[in-house]
Chain A
Amino acid sequence: MRVSGWGRTSWAEVTEVPIVAGVPTAWPRAGVPRGLGRSYGDAAQIDGGAVLVPSAPVPEPSWRGAGTVRVHAGTSIDELLRWSVPQGWFVPVSPGTRFVTVGGAIAADVHGKNHHRDGSFCAHVRRMRVATPGEGTVVARPGDDVFRATAGGMGLTGVVLDADVRMLRIATSWMAVGTRRVDGIDDMLACLAEADGRNRYSVAWIDLLARGASLGRGVVSAGDHATVADLDAARRADPLAYAPRVRAGVPDAVPGFVLNRPVGRAFNEAWFRRAPRRRDGELVGIAPFFHPLDALRDWNRLYGRRGFLQHQFVLPDGREGTLRHVVERLADGGAPGMLGVLKRFGPAGEGLLSFPRTGWTLAADLADGPEARALLDSLDEMVVQAGGRTYLAKDARMRPRHLPSMYPKLTEWRRIADRLDPDRRLTSDLDRRLGLRGSHRGR
């Protein structure tokens, strides 16, 4: 069967190998775990090989003591939230879509709007079971080699079977949100940094088509879980109500011109003008706050047949000059980025290949094409020179030479990965393209 990443840029012919009773029915010679296929590039596929998939039905989560849930790796964040929110618990970290599996969230060590405060997903995993080709099923806890290599390890150390995740207590299923419209990049950075001090969650949407004096203009949104006292009488009747809906999808064949530069400019202008200059205490549901794109099923098809590149990098603190330069390049670029997402990261976690580290992170969608790829190549150079890195779970096109400088713990990770999978059965198109596992020792 043919599969691709969410960006639909590269495709692979694969066979599905189900994971039954904690092990793959057979370790294929070349395979990689695949959950819901939300990584944008080629991380969860291997052309001519196998994808290791959870076998349905996935068992329900269960509590292991107060606030810690044991959840099967094939469970999606969506399923977990539908189960936990009515009980008054929220996932410790939620990425921009709830249609990722827990296994995928660990493999990419995903982050959310609360990274500045709570770190990435794996910071809240207390224990996980990992099926490995070399050492069988291993129980891994924070600090263990297996844990540090599997957190953010892109599925190349084994198949996560289940995980114990520390959840977050919530009183309501509502978010109390503040919004600020900012006219330029300096204001935006200051506003975000300030919001981080006050709010558990913060993010900024940045207009990547605005230039000149408006460069880096956007909307900063920050919030916290609302308390019952924040709710009006109607909402108090059922403060933990949670029933997110997904609207009908996008057809498979959208013409390429739907998202072009003039359309993007008009859209961004309208969106910027619509945002209030300043608003506080607005009540917003969990789904629109955390997962706005999930409202439209198959939105990735909006970019048409050629697909799109989602690019995300992080720059260390003190490199705001580079950040401004990158935003300029995107704004000037022949390949239009539409809306970017800007956020401050807190300190890195223990995952050896985890993406987040202290600094500024920017994510942007670009319609795929040679211009877009050339632009991103030049951004990689700037990011590497500034001591930053590109996010592997989103990457579809990076050059392998940047890998060691972006991920300085690569050598240590390779050593552990080779121990867990000595025959290198776990491989992906991402691994092949970037040489993540390293040279194949004469093979």
Chain B
Amino acid sequence: MSLKTPTRTTAAEARHPSNSAQGSHRPARALAVLKKNTSGLVVLIILSVLVVLPLGLVLLAAFSDSVPRPGSISLGGLTLSNLALLATPEAFGALVNSLMVGTGSALIALLIGAFLAFVCARSDAPWRKFIFFIGMAPMFIPALVGALAWSLLSSPSAGYINILLRDLGIDAAINIYSLPGLVFVLGIFYAPYAFLLLHSSLSMMNADLEEAATVHGAPLRTMLRTVTLPLALPAILGSAVLVFALTMENFPVAQVIGNPAGVDTLPTYIYRLMSATPAKSNQAASVAVILTVALMAVTVIQQRIINKRKFTTMTGKGNRPRQVPLRKLRWPFTLLAVGYFAVSVVLPMLALLTASMQATPFVSSISQLLEANSLSFAKLLEVLGSNDFQLALKNSVLVALIAAFAGTTLSFIASYVRYRTKSRTGRLIELVAMTPLAVPAIVMGIGLLWTWLLLPLPIYGTLAILAVACVAVFLPQGYRGVSASMLQMDQDLEDSAVMLGAGRARSVVDVTLPLMRVGITSSFLLFLMLSMRELSASIFLFTSNTRILSILVFDNFDNGQSQAAAAVSVLYCLVIGILAVIAQKAGGERKTKS
């Protein structure tokens, strides 16, 4: 950018000889250009440290024989030998598994999400409000906890479902520790993403378009096939690709469910390489590069599909699209939805509660659980009172709050530079801010680890680095929320404050911030909720003093203490639930105010 400026100035002056006669103004103008871009450059530098540098280090490590460390960073040891690993059956198997997991769970999530969205938004089934809740509820259970719950439910030997089957004399066992099991768990816990996208597409669809089809003689079935479905298609494809991307990079579920089965996906393979002794960091980096490239390709496709959607189905009109009468299927459809609720929320929660309350670690039959004194709150209370839990809780909340505050602030400044100034850095800022969308969290974690070991700022080993990780990983979501809200606000509102004598900063504080408070608060809450659930990046960044709740659950499970893991999980979900209720309250208040 700074290289371009002088050439531009000379070109302009060549066309206006009167200007170049006074050559002394040239530096003044270059300075003006620099001044105009200062804030943009500062934001760009922060974003680069946050996003670009970590990725660069991973890329460097992938093609190097040493790990980037202070003093030892050089381009001397460049090699392609790490790539040889990619030809091994292990790495290739992990890649194939990742693709299968992504495809399978995207299909399941799409089926569930589309079904729920249709029933909730466009049918006359009973309990539609509850079905909307059903569609969203699993989002409040971190995928890690969901996976843990399902391993309690149907691990081949000790799973509650399998014990029940044995009790009933049925000679069949469900083995969740398998590739289909992994696909199933990911599918049900990522279905809400498909549901939310499709629900908004179906309920915001312009009713006129459908009515036009009816007026021109199409019966209901034909209308659904020729108008509704094509209009919803971008959302359908978009959500399927989104779930594919999310599940392909998912680490916690793959680790909990896949690891016992010996099923490796790319993220778990990376983790295994990183935690081997000695760590095979360079190989891990090369696998990380493959995963990132794959995810980038998928994300680009997804963004293309989603961007198309804007032109087809969004309308500002409040007219309600038509309801499809289900007749005999009304109750069966609702029951199916409730069935999904049982599988995604009720059973997992029951399993976690039971596991954390059972008196003996081993259960041989379900009837044993019904005996007196077989269940107690002792373990839960013990965990609640333990230093480990209290520290992790404090850390989690602190990290989430810092991340939410820093992330929202950064998102606002970046959006402002992009959409409210003429700074040439704007587009680049947006690109960098959106990049983490296409970077697996686990890769970001490795990159951040190396970055902050390298940088002179000593935040490694503190909570700050966990907050930094959350900001980096969730920046796209925050940035998108804030910039959407900024674009909705007429720039004249801020400019008029400037015209009336306020400085730019003052105008932002007096006018822009108050008018954007809804968008800003939701972005803050989004950062908060997402950061509370984060595991994949933090797993490389925590120390014994900076464990957060997700890490505590993972550690306990990893050490075979599934009862402790279950107990922490129950409390973890409780904390998230409380935060969600507070967020909802805050949201409700905002609505009544405006």
Is B a genuine binding partner of A?
Answer: no
B residues within 8 Å of A by Cβ?
A: none
A residues within 8 Å of B by Cβ?
A: none
